[in-house]
């Protein structure tokens, strides 16, 4: 089958398009014909070797954890899905090797849910990782409650844009950091935008003089420190970008595959509670360009790679 792979760590130039090994379908997996696969910052961080300390790497690696596609063969113990089912997935295993940037992927059923019927293949592919991250952080790690004020960083990005919508659905007031060019977009999601950069603390205090009840950090570094100083008494802080959150009394969170959570997200998408903004699409053979664009760090919503479809 055709796919993207890399045989050593490095920049986008190590990504190659060509023949890759066909996936083996285990007892608890299904073979998915890929329609689209979203790009996430973790994809290029893994490609550059930043996850080497926590995940074994089996070269050559097919990158990608997000997918939308069609089940073409269930494993022998699978009862949850049948041939022809349209699915989405956060197909992460505990090693790097068998990703979604290919014509087919073998996906464990624990990573999958049915595709929201109202989303395009591209939009659906952009939902799993960022949606699960936002959902798990807001409902489990931060335990956001109705009436609370939540600060969400990079509110126009992949995780941030979903988090704004989910936090509003939970009944929270949302303050979201974003570049001025994205302020109208953040408002359209239900957030109150504030600009990044110097003076951020003062701008947030202007909207929430007594501090915020919860802060969702997606940036790390100085932003993490500012967030900690903006918390109200008993406020909670979670970062998905910086393990130093624990030094500020917060928590570092790494999203996990969860079929039930993903099903819940799909239901919310079908009800119109959550939408996915796709800013750019690339054909599979141009996955390196998709990585480059994502690395620039100014993406509104999601960047998605599409796979040519032959019924």
Over residues 168-186, the pLDDT tens digits come to 999 999 999 999 999 999 9
pLDDT tens digits, 66-123 = 999 999 999 999 999 999 999 999 999 999 999 999 999 999 999 999 999 999 999 9
Could you tell me the pLDDT band of residue 311, with boundaries at 50, 70 and 90?
A: low
* Mean pLDDT of the chain, nearest integer: 97
Who's near 112: CB < 8 A, 6+ residues apart?
30, 32, 80, 81, 87, 88, 89, 91, 259, 262
**pTM of the predicted protein model:** 0.97
Report the first-to-last Cα separation within the chain, whole angstroms.
Answer: 15
Nearest-angstrom CA–CA distance, 115 and 81 = 12
- Is 195 strand, coil or helix? strand
pLDDT tens digits, 121-130 = 999 999 999 9
User: What element of type H or E holds 266?
Assistant: helix 259-270
HSE toward the beta carbon, residue 115, CA cutoff 13 A? 25
Nearest-angstrom CA–CA distance, 226 and 215 = 10
pLDDT computed for residue 102 by the predictor: 98
Per the DSSP assignment, residues forming a β-bridge with 5 are 16
For residue 57, pLDDT over 70 is answered with yes
pLDDT computed for residue 152 by the predictor: 98
For residue 5, pLDDT over 70 is answered with yes
Q: Say how far residue 184 (Cα) sits from the centre of its chain.
A: 22
The C-alpha torsion from 71 through 84 and 125 to 74, rounded to 10°, is -20
Could you tell me the pLDDT band of residue 191, with boundaries at 50, 70 and 90?
A: very high
- Alpha-carbon torsion 246, 249, 254, 258, what sign? positive
Nearest-angstrom CA–CA distance, 289 and 132 = 25
Could you tell me the pLDDT band of residue 298, with boundaries at 50, 70 and 90?
A: confident
Q: What is the Rg, in whole angstroms, of the alpha carbon atoms belonging to the chain?
A: 19
Nearest-angstrom CA–CA distance, 83 and 85 = 6
Nearest-angstrom CA–CA distance, 212 and 214 = 6
For residue 227, pLDDT over 70 is answered with yes
Comparing CA positions, the residue from 127, 126, 138, 198 lying closest to residue 174 is 138
User: Quick check: 32 and 1 in contact, CB under 8 A?
Assistant: no
pLDDT computed for residue 268 by the predictor: 98
pLDDT tens digits, 34-53 = 999 999 999 999 999 999 99
pLDDT computed for residue 295 by the predictor: 94
Domain at 130-252: CATH code: 3.40.50.720
pLDDT tens digits, 228-263 = 999 999 999 999 999 999 999 999 999 999 999 999
pLDDT computed for residue 297 by the predictor: 84
- Give burial (CB, 10 Å; 0-12/13-18/19+) of 267: middle
Residue found under tokens 């953040």: 186
Domain boundaries, the chain: 2-126+276-306, 130-252
Class of domain 2-126+276-306 (CATH, top level): alpha beta
Q: Kindly state the average pLDDT of the residues 150-165.
A: 98
Could you tell me the pLDDT band of residue 309, with boundaries at 50, 70 and 90?
A: confident
How many Å is the maximal CA-CA distance in the chain?
A: 58
């Amino acid at each position: 089958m055709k796919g993207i792979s890399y045989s050593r760590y490095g920049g986008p130039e190590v990504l190659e398009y060509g023949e890759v090994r066909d996936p083996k379908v285990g007892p608890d997996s299904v073979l998915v014909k890929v329609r689209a696969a979203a790009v996430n910052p973790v994809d290029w961080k893994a490609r550059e070797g930043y996850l080497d300390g926590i995940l074994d790497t089996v070269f050559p690696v097919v990158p990608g954890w997000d997918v939308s596609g069609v089940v073409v063969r269930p494993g022998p113990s699978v009862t949850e899905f049948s041939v022809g089912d349209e699915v989405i997935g956060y197909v992460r295993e505990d090693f790097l090797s068998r990703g979604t940037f290919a014509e087919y992927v073998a996906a464990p059923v624990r990573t999958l849910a049915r595709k929201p019927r109202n989303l395009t293949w591209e939009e659906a592919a952009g939902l799993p990782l960022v949606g699960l991250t936002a959902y798990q952080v807001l409902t489990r790690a931060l335990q956001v409650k109705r009436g609370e004020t939540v600060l969400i960083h990079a509110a126009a990005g992949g995780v941030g844009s979903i988090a704004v919508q989910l936090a509003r659905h939970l009944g929270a007031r949302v303050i979201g950091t974003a570049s001025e060019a994205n302020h109208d977009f953040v408002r359209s999601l239900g957030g109150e935008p504030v600009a990044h950069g110097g003076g951020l603390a003062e701008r947030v205090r202007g909207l929430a003089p007594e501090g915020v009840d919860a802060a969702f950090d997606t940036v790390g570094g100085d932003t993490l420190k500012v967030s900690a100083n903006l918390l109200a008494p008993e406020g909670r802080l979670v970062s998905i970008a910086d393990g130093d959150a624990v030094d500020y009394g917060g928590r570092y969170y790494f999203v996990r595959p969860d079929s039930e959570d993903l099903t819940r997200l799909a239901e919310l998408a079908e009800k119109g509670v959550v939408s996915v903004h796709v800013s750019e699409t690339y054909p599979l053979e141009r996955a390196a360009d998709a990585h480059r664009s994502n690395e620039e760090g100014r993406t509104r919503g999601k960047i998605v790679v599409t796979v040519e479809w032959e019924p």
